[in-house]
Amino acid sequence: NIWGDVCRQKAMWLDLILTMIHCPPGVTAEIVLDTMGNIIVYRAESLFLVFNITRIYLLLRVCKEQVLLSLPIRFTISKFSGVSFGWIFAFKHLLEGWSAVVNLSILWCMLILVSGYGLRIFEFSACELSTTDSPSCHLHNASRWSLPGTAEFDSHNPEMLKINTVLWCFFITSTSVGYGDFYATTHFGRTVSGVVTFLGIAFVSLLTAALTNALQLNGEENKAFLIAEREKAKLRLPEKAATYLQLWYKTVTRRPLDGLNVLNIRREFFETLA
């Protein structure tokens, strides 16, 4: 039964949830939340927009399928080897060589763009819109906010509406630096910041590992390096041999060694021969 097999696919239901749930055109609502004693009003279409951003997951699926399509007879190979060609295999394949640096950088930029836009929505109160008629917007703690240990401040921060500001905020957050010049003041904003911090640390670690792996010599480069070292040793061999013969002659004739380091000369000579 084809339809039965399709309905049993968990990925299909996940795709349906991500693509079908949305705010209908022309429909709006105002959602009032109390965040740490401060009133913030969200528009329903704004929150649905943040949820719809998760559709970027579909782009990741396309990347996974593109990676797996480059592997011939992968189903036969998977059957005989027992290796599952899925998300984990595709992700590991993308982390090979210098392409890993490029792929991780792209994913990192996508994380900053998506989370930055989410922060911009979560930190903006709909009370600043002229079309908002919520009674809660007339309360004092809707226009003037306060956080533990801080004085009251204006709930409307025009800097947080600038996309370059939120991108800078999440770039330094993802690198675990955080200068404190911009920070989230709502529960949703802090949740996004926490997720970005965790994922940022993971991306920095993976990028460092990818750079380390990419900068290592591969098999052919290592073979060429050993050949070059052997040729350098051949060029040094006459000089080391002459020094060793001089040491042998002075030792046999019992002449002064004139500060010659016997152990070093012998070690360097035999290392050259090796």
pLDDT (tens digit per residue) in 181-215: 778 888 888 898 888 888 888 888 888 888 888 88
In angstroms, rounded to a whole number, what is the distance separating the alpha carbons of residues 198 and 252? 70
Burial (CB count within 10 angstroms: exposed 0-12, middle 13-18, buried 19+), residue 70: exposed
**Confidence (pLDDT) at 240:** 75
- Mean pLDDT for the stretch of residues 109-134: 87
CA atoms within 13 A on the CB side of 53: 16
- Mean pLDDT for the stretch of residues 70-81: 83
**Confidence (pLDDT) at 260:** 66
**Confidence (pLDDT) at 269:** 64
Query: Is 165 in contact with 182 (CB distance < 8 Å)?
Result: yes
Helical ranges in the chain per DSSP H: 2-7, 10-20, 44-52, 56-69, 74-81, 87-94, 97-122, 140-143, 163-174, 187-215, 219-252, 262-273
Query: Is 214 in contact with 100 (CB distance < 8 Å)?
Result: yes
Give bridge partners of residue 32 from the DSSP assignment.
41
Is 6 a residue whose pLDDT tops 80? no
**Confidence (pLDDT) at 204:** 87
**Confidence (pLDDT) at 93:** 84
**Confidence (pLDDT) at 97:** 80
Q: At what angle do helices 44-52 and 97-122 cross, to 10 degrees?
A: 170
**Confidence (pLDDT) at 123:** 87
- Mean pLDDT for the stretch of residues 48-71: 85
In angstroms, rounded to a whole number, what is the distance separating the alpha carbons of residues 209 and 203? 10
